[in-house]
A and B are shown apart, each in its own frame.
Chain A
Amino acid sequence: MGKIWKISGPVVIAEDMRGSQVYEVVDVGDERLSGEIIGLERDKAVIQVYEDTVGLRVGEPVTGTGEILMVELGPGLVGNIYDGVQRSLVTMMDDIGDFLVRGVRTDALDRKKKWHFTPSVKTGDMVQEGDIIGNVPETGLIEHRIMVPIGTQGTILEISEGEFTIEETVALLEHEGAKKPLTLMQKWPARKPRLYKQRFVPEDLLVTGTRIIDYLFPLALGGKAAIPGGFGTGKTVCLQQMARWSQTQLNIYVGCGERGNEMADVLHSFKKLKDPATGRLLQEKEIFIANTSNMPVVAREISIFIGITMAEYFRDMGYDVLLVADSTSRWAEAMREIGARLEETPGEEGFPTYLGSRLSAFYERSGRVTCIGKPERMGSATVIGSVSPPGADFSEPVTQATLRIVDVLYSLDVALANKRHFPTINWLQSYSLYADSVDKWWNRISPDYNEIRDKALITLQHEAELEEIVRLVGPEALPEDDKLVLLAARMIREDFLMQSAYHPVDTYTEPKRTHLMLSTIMKLYGLAKEATESGMLVNEISSSKILPRISRMKDIPNEEFDDYMKQLWSDMDKNPFV
């Protein structure tokens, strides 16, 4: 057992620590605050403490646990809420109350709860690492597939169906004369990527239900994306929307250094909202990690790695998993703060020189892979991180380092936020490198996808150019065909891109409907072009009765949508501008 030798912010140096190892978890002080060794020199250990160090004294005890920081993986993860070091906040609420007093230990997974295990292999079978040996129905939406841990193999001596806690033996293996029990739980070091067989280029659309994302800047399963934007531009709402509606099997929401009230909002809404595909409560497919801005800074760094380890674990079962992290800037700032305490040589704007490599260590753990083990299966982990650039200035180090890594950029725009155009994804600055690979997916919905997407983007681009002229001469001075471009662009913006997260229908649009909405606008644009060519004025077109009907398209409930659109299209085909 060692003793505290020095305290400086979240960094504590302990003496008499011979025999400890780097990344070992330690208990610090009389209150047993949890910490992790990040450096060793002779008998001294440098420790980052995951709890507030105010009030610590020199000489208080420091005890090693002999274990490095491991993520507990097994039934009980889904629906749970964790702090940055995987303590269950639900358990803490029940055990110690509403405030996070220091030095409390809780297990990540409930040790007492019994789960029903059904084997999928039998006695005498030979199993390898990664093989699925059975299932536990964890929630109504997630079947937890129990895998042989990495590094383990053998012949099944015993395995049986029944009720088990996560620590009880569900199967017994024998390998070269040694017996090894398997349980429902396994552990994995947070900072180490989990293994897979082979990686593939992401090419299937991750359906988010947000139109501008799915149609214009699509994200692919296994992809990586960033959402930078100034305060109040809608990063959190965007991420929440994705965590709500994405057509993935499991989502992980990491709130890293953000608001407590926001976390409360997410937690409460997931207890009420239903998954559109299955009608089950969303929290049955969600894991939450909440390290709010007033919780200890050091835990922010590890929280993101704990989240991605969970994502990989479910990916390895053969699932499509989405992880959203809000905000990676707070994560980077946590590293900056620790770096300064350790007196490391700072890089740009005081961030550690390893900022870029740490960011890619995170984002690179996304991907679409074939998993290790039998049966053959594919899984994916998609990662989206928000970035909070100071003063909404994207030239700062975290945004820049992130942009070098990700394949999709959703650039949020303060000017759009001020006008309350949501989502504020700027259509001129955002991009998706997956657009060319997921068009195959879209072409199964409609062969016109590429054409309509291109036309819409060109119209918006054209509008931006005309906008500069309008500021000089006014809209009335434009020729009719340019006025029509402005009208069409306006319809694309207001009737298609704008999407309220709070409207019960508008909040989620399925791909077919998304396609139909934009096709309708582009079709009207085409008809309007013909009409103006034969002498109709754009002003007459913009006051025609058909336009408000197109505007209302968003709010029409799914059950009525087909009829509504049929009527709309048949009226457009007859005599649109009356």
Chain B
Amino acid sequence: MDSLQLFTRQTKAISTARRSLLVIESIPGIRYNEIVDVQLGTGETRIGQVIEVGKETTVVQVFGGVSEVDLLNSRVRYKGETLKLPVSGDIMGRLFDGSGNPIDGGPPIVADTYLDINGVPANPASRMPPAEFIETGISAIDGLNVLVRGQKLPIFSGSGLPHNKIAAQILRQASLKGKSEEFAIVFGAIGVSYDDAGYCISNLEETGALSRTVAFINTASSPVIERLSTPRLALTAAEYLAWEHDMHVLVILTDITNYCDALRELAAMRGEIPSRRGYPGYMYTDLASLYERAGRISGKEGSVTIIPILTMPDDDITHPIADLTGYITEGQIVLSRALERKRIYPPIDVFLSLSRMMKEGIGEGNTREDHNNVFMQSYAVYAEGNYLREISTVIGSEALSDRDRVYLSASDRFEEEFISQAENNRRTVEETLELAWNIFSMLPREDLKLIQEEYIKKYLPEAPENRVTTETG
């Protein structure tokens, strides 16, 4: 980023170097947490960050491999300012690295303004509760775990599961019901492989979405410190587009696991006392400083919707990265290896998945009047079927009653017809609800306890044969 080059002052008075920490004699004007430039004795340059300022000494953490000898002969250059992103309407359609420098061969951004990449917290009293339904075209989401504008809804994935495909499908298909307006896309790739970053970019390119995308890409081989700045740059850009340019912005951040690992690595280098599994005790707060930047502000047109993607180490949902994320976000879309093995795409585990903003975004005027009832009844049926499947593995399905066997097959159909859909299949929410009603039509009518009578009369297909299939791919 161009502001990074503007280091104005420097010092050579380095007193000690231990691990990655440099203790320098204090210099007037250096700011707490500012990013500095450390020039090593060898002439190489490293980035550092001020992590403690005192009257006599200042502690700088240097990122990137350095030895103590290097550090002893280095000098620190600083500019007396914290990290800022230059922004203007021209950032649309551009690709940047994790420091905010263009990497698409285009010209530098002529800034309208420079924004602090840490953002400023929104006043809770100014926030508007997210409520507008986003149709992703994916039944497991639109039917049961609805995404709304201004929500933060992560994808909890595992290594090798198709989270990139799903994210790409959402980006391609997401729209507001009944409106043609398209989302602006901000893409933050954190410590991902070239292949993964390339997959996402080319996907956006193919669908022509690249012109409404801003991408910040920190690949696995770029500096670790940039893993921390990449999402902040992306969110700063998103906020700028949403609050200054009235756009509805969809932010994809991938992979949060790399972000957290960088946080852990840097904390360990400072010798901090770790919390669970070596991650720092303040990781909740740190992640919140990213995710909480989603939302809507009353009186402003735009919105920031965030879909962070993380891979759960060992598929463990109690791992601190998934756990702390779940404690901050408004639900989660969880991918399941078991469904993936059954070749169900998208392999969304609807029991572990949740959208907490759903109730505001569904129903009459948003989706359809029966949506909430269908949602509750679907869970009841699928949960019952799943439980029966579990016990039938021990006792055999012959030992079940006829009624129970109906539930077994309803839950199979639920996976095969409702959850499963092709990567290029975009279902309307009405089609999604119809699929659920078709499955309900297998069950005894009085079992539909969670649906109001009038909706049963209106939407329940007469006989199971009447079922509609919308699958095309």
Contacts and interface: CB of A to CB of B under 8 A. Distances in A.
A294 B125 contact: no
A57 B31 contact: yes
A165 to B, nearest CB: 23
Interface string A1-30: 000011110000101000000000000000
A375 interface: no
Contacts of B34: 55
Task: Specify which of B272, B273, B320 lies most central, judged by the most chain A CB atoms within 10 Å of its CB.
Answer: B273
A546 to B, nearest CB: 11
B282 A337 contact: yes
Interface in B265-306: 272-273, 275-276, 281-282, 284-285, 288-289, 292-295, 297-300
A57 B29 contact: yes
B123 A349 contact: no
B356 A260 contact: no
B161 interface: no
Contact of A56 (B31, B284, B323): B31
B384 to A, nearest CB: 9
Contacts of A494: 449
Contacts of B124: 81, 89, 255, 260, 263-264, 267, 290, 292
Interface residues of A, number: 80
A535 interface: no
A100 B293 CA distance: 13
A56 B324 CA distance: 29
A294 B124 CA distance: 10
A551 interface: yes
Contacts of A388: 327
Contacts of B244: none
B330 interface: yes
Interface stretch (A65-73, A206-214, A390-398, A563-571): A390-398
A295 B155 CA distance: 25
B391 interface: yes
A382 to B, nearest CB: 24
A15 B56 CA distance: 13
Interface in B246-266: none
A276 B390 CA distance: 44
B264 to A, nearest CB: 14
Nearest to A56: B32
B229 interface: no
B394 interface: yes
Interface stretch (A154-162, A244-252, A317-325, A469-477): A469-477
Nearest to B33: A54
Nearest to B324: A390
Contacts of B359: 502
Nearest to A415: B351
A390 B293 CA distance: 23
Nearest to A102: B120
B151 A294 contact: no
Interface string B121-138: 111111111100000000
Given A99-B120, A261-B357, A474-B400, A293 B54 contact: no
Nearest to B294: A261
A148 B394 CA distance: 72
B160 to A, nearest CB: 23
Task: Specify which of B127, B300, B324 lies most central, judged by the most chain A CB atoms within 10 Å of its CB.
Answer: B127
B55 A6 contact: yes
A263 B127 contact: yes
Given A98-B122, A419-B383, A472 B394 contact: yes
B446 interface: yes
Interface stretch (B69-77, B190-198, B372-380, B465-473): B372-380
Given A98-B123, A98-B300, A333-B281, A292 B400 contact: no
B401 interface: yes
A145 interface: no
A333 B327 CA distance: 14
B40 to A, nearest CB: 26
B292 A292 contact: yes
B422 interface: no
Q: Give the size category of B's interface with A.
A: 35 or more
B3 interface: no
Contacts of A346: 273
Contact of B391 (A265, A330, A420, A474): A474
B312 to A, nearest CB: 12
Contacts of A392: 318
A410 B281 CA distance: 26
Contact of B275 (A7, A350, A555): A350
B68 interface: no
A92 B123 contact: yes
B352 interface: yes
B395 A474 contact: yes
B314 to A, nearest CB: 13
Contacts of B188: none
Interface in B32-91: 32-34, 51-55, 80-82
Contacts of B365: none
A261 B433 CA distance: 27
B328 interface: yes
Contact of A260 (B122, B351, B357): B122
A93 B33 contact: no
B66 to A, nearest CB: 23
B26 interface: yes
Nearest to B51: A8
A428 B411 CA distance: 28
A259 B152 CA distance: 10
Contact of A232 (B121, B275, B356, B449): B356
A472 B123 CA distance: 55
Contact of A297 (B26, B125, B285): B285
B331 interface: yes
A5 B292 contact: no
Interface string B17-36: 00000000010111111100
Contacts of B54: 5-7, 13, 58
Given A8-B52, A391-B276, 14 more contacts: A57-B80, A58-B30, A89-B123, A98-B126, A98-B300, A255-B124, A259-B328, A260-B292, A261-B151, A293-B284, A293-B292, A390-B323, A418-B352, A474-B395
Interface of A: 5-8, 13, 15, 52-59, 81, 89-90, 92-93, 97-101, 230-232, 255, 257, 259-265, 267-268, 290, 292-295, 297, 330, 333, 336-337, 340, 346, 349-350, 388, 390-393, 417-420, 470-477, 494, 500, 502, 539, 543, 545, 547-548, 551-552, 555
Interface of B: 26, 28-34, 51-55, 80-82, 118, 120-130, 150-151, 272-273, 275-276, 281-282, 284-285, 288-289, 292-295, 297-300, 318-320, 323-324, 326-328, 330-332, 351-352, 354, 356-357, 359-360, 372, 376, 379-380, 383, 390-392, 394-395, 399-401, 404, 444, 446, 449, 452
17 contacts: A7-B53, A15-B55, A57-B28, A59-B28, A93-B123, A97-B126, A232-B332, A232-B356, A257-B284, A261-B357, A263-B124, A265-B129, A290-B124, A337-B281, A390-B320, A545-B446, A547-B446
